[in-house]
A and B are shown apart, each in its own frame.
Chain A
């Protein structure tokens, strides 16, 4: 279904960003290998969403560059053509129907761009697409949000708390979709608070803390380093350990 081009690598160098007096990132560098699923974790306000927004050019860094494959994030708008983004809890224009939102997003890409409507079918959205979005339940809107992120067969997927608000069945379908994307060589970046589900979706973990990257490595490495078998505990250990050492 998709072209076997590997997803882009991401190379962040010297990223700094302040909001008022708060240093979100201080000279932060991070390289993500292509075609891997990486989870961004960290305590609240560690800058997970801000990092995603910097990748998308929604947020302008004070210093540093972010390379997404051959492109530089925030320069021009063309590179976003290759990114699928699922924001945290999306609110749609109330008076449009789901179908109109889909058409609108399609209209922003070149005509005939490959689309993947698989998730619309799997999440049984067909019946909901002709209703005004305001009449849909929160969960259904979140399903629509998820299906839109996967619509354009993007080689880079950015998913911000993707399973929040989804019922277990829908969350399961979404996780399978992420795994299928991984097999197809897509680069995926996920943030989540539900540590347990990361295990089903991700290969690598990036721990953001105090303005920088405090850990980056495969999930297995988290376990090995902390000696904890349960991932949730292992990650808590990692956060606390790093805090203590810092």
Chain B
């Protein structure tokens, strides 16, 4: 807890987190202003968030953790369990990012009065999914920084992870479907988004917004297999697992690591 408090202080004062919040703020404002209507702006915002949030969480998280490494060693030499230090470090990294994200995306809605037409509910969904996505990515960042001692390599892995989940994923799915043709429709392909936190977040959001045009292949499959409500629940569950599993794996590694 004490670790969390000081980590929070340290990360909160970091300029990068402030810039992140302000960028999101500017983007959301611009989309609301020029994107025409709350619901349509929401869809554009969604696409931005799904690319931007994982990138900042992964890359900033990894850079920050490598920078904090020596201090983490000093803290490990204090009377303190590794588990509580781990949770303090992860929480201290994640919370400011979540707060920056939440403020950056919701404030413009507030002053543009865009809460009508169910935009409020949609925003709540966006914030939840974004927060979970942030948590998942920072958990991965903690894992990366404990797994790879070499900073440059760790950063490379973080970027590769981001490129994979946020950019290459759609292409891989299309390729899979193209090569397997008709047969692919019988396979439980609707479970695929669950293997990627970004895709899971997208499916959850798109289903909740009822915007089939943006659904993409996996979203459509998911809707067909599980229905709208079921699809949302499944995707949210997947996101939760994407926070918990990397976190547990990273914790195990952190507890056994030689510093």
Contact = CB atoms under 8 A, between A and B. Distances in A.
Interface stretch (A79-87, A121-129, A169-177): A79-87
Given A90-B74, A108-B2, A96 B9 contact: yes
Contact of B79 (A19, A80, A100): A80
B258 A60 contact: yes
Contacts of B259: 53, 58-59
A85 B74 contact: yes
Contacts of B69: 91
A193 interface: no
Nearest to A53: B259
B73 A94 contact: no
Q: Is the interface of B mostly helix, strand, loop or mixed?
A: helix
A93 interface: yes
A93 B68 contact: yes
How many B residues touch the partner, as a band? Answer: 20 to 34
Interface in B58-98: 67-71, 73-82
Contacts of A109: 78-79
A87 B79 contact: no
B183 interface: no
A95 B256 CA distance: 29
Contact of B10 (A79, A80, A93): A93
Interface string B219-259: 00000000000000000000000000000000000001011
B2 A104 contact: yes
Band of interface residues on A: 20 to 34
B52 interface: no
A79 B77 CA distance: 10
Nearest to B6: A104
B13 interface: yes
Interface string A48-87: 0000010011111000000000000000011111010101
B44 interface: no
B2 A95 contact: no
B71 A58 contact: no
A215 interface: no
B258 A59 contact: yes
Contact of A87 (B2, B11, B70): B70
B112 interface: no
Contact of B13 (A58, A95, A148): A95
Contacts of B6: 93, 96, 100, 104
B47 interface: no
Interface in B1-16: 2-3, 6-7, 9-14
A76 to B, nearest CB: 8
Given A53-B258, A59-B258, A108 B78 contact: yes
A80 B259 CA distance: 16
Interface in B140-183: none
Interface in A76-120: 77-81, 83, 85, 87, 89-96, 100, 104-105, 107-109
Interface of A: 19, 53, 56-60, 77-81, 83, 85, 87, 89-96, 100, 104-105, 107-109, 132, 148
Interface of B: 2-3, 6-7, 9-14, 67-71, 73-82, 256, 258-259
Given A59-B259, A91-B70, A108-B3, 7 more contacts: A80-B77, A85-B74, A87-B73, A87-B74, A94-B10, A104-B6, A108-B75
